[in-house]
Amino acid sequence: MFEAWNISELIILAVVVLGGLVLALDDWRGMLLAWALMGMGGGVLLQQTTEVPRELVGIQILDSALLTLLFYLAGRRAQTNIPRTLNARPVIHWRFRILAALFLYTIARMMAIRFPLPIASPPLLIVTYTLIGIGLLIATLSRSPLKAGLGVLTMLNGYQISYLSVQDSLLAIGLMAGMNLLVAFLIVALTLVRQEVSA
């Protein structure tokens, strides 16, 4: 148990740092890379701390990779047509965003310890709370649909980590993956519609 906690602590830290990077970076490609690695890290964390089947974790990792590719292609199209919107910086400086990520992580730790849920494990709850907080911050601070969408997906990623560990219905897990894809599709559609408008 103690060893598992140590390994998962490292992965938690990696996922949270990557989540912080998604929040702190201004360049959309950097954000996307950090987001992809964070999604994969979430999958590895799930495998380390719960009894989730290996196939499901594999699907989670593959899902992150495919969505990253989808966003990259949409972002590249947007880069040629609406570079100003895509590269618009949030009004808050990156140093404050890093501070906000640290603050969220501290709050998440406190919440997971003070208000534990009997079914979900504390490490997973910490990641879930942190990523939901970071995702919400990204979504509200960003000006382009692509970046705001990455925030929404960061929230969903964080949520999925807890959800997959407590949910044993395959249908529910499949539907959650479907919702992830739907949100990704909507983000790409919003980005491309914006292009259509500016063109």
Partner 1 sequence: MNFPLLILLAVPFLAAPVIYPLRRTPLAAPFSAAVAIALVGFMWIVPWPVITPRPDQATLGAPLVLLGRSLRLTEADRWALSTLWGGAALLFLTAWPFRFERRLYPLGLVAGGLWTIGLLLRPISLGTFFTGAAALLLALALLGEGHGMEGATQYLIAASLGFLAWVTAAWAAEQATLNPGQPLWTTLTMLLIGIAMVLWLGVWPAYRWVLLLFAEGAPVGAAFTVFLLNCGTWFWLLAWAQEFPWLPQLPGWSAGLQAMGILMMLSSAVLALAERGWGLIGGYAWLASSGLSWLALGLGTVEGIHLSAWTLWVRIIALLGLAFGLAAHRRMSGSTESGRISLDQGPWVIALLLGSGMALIDVPPFASFTARWALTRLLLPSRPILSLAWIGSTGLLGWALLRELTRPREETPPLRPMPRSAVWFGIAWWTAELLLLFISPWLGSQLRPLADAWIHLSPLE
For the bound state, the minimum distance from the C-beta of residue 191 to partner 1, rounded and expressed in Å, comes to 10
Site for partner 1 contains 92 (CB under 8 A): no
- If binding means CB under 8 A, how many residues of this protein chain bind partner 1? 34
The b/e string for 82-120 (b: 16+ C-beta within 10 A; e otherwise) is beebbeeebeeeeeebeebbeebbeebbebbeeeeeeeb
Site for partner 1 contains 148 (CB under 8 A): yes
The C-alpha atoms of residue 111 and residue 107 are separated, in whole angstroms, by 6
Site for partner 1 contains 156 (CB under 8 A): yes
Residues 6+ apart with CB under 8 A from 105: 16, 20, 126, 130
Site for partner 1 contains 199 (CB under 8 A): no
Which of 74, 152, 161, 164 touches partner 1 by CB under 8 A? 152
Nearer to partner 1, 101 or 153 (CB): 153
Nearer to partner 1, 64 or 165 (CB): 165
- How is 143-184 classified by DSSP, letter by letter? -SHHHHHHHHHHHHHHHHHHHHHH---HHHHHHHHHHHHHHH
Residues near partner 1, by CB under 8 A: 117-119, 132, 136, 139-140, 145, 148-149, 151-152, 155-156, 159, 163, 166-167, 169, 171-172, 175-176, 178-179, 182-183, 186-187, 189-190, 193-194, 197
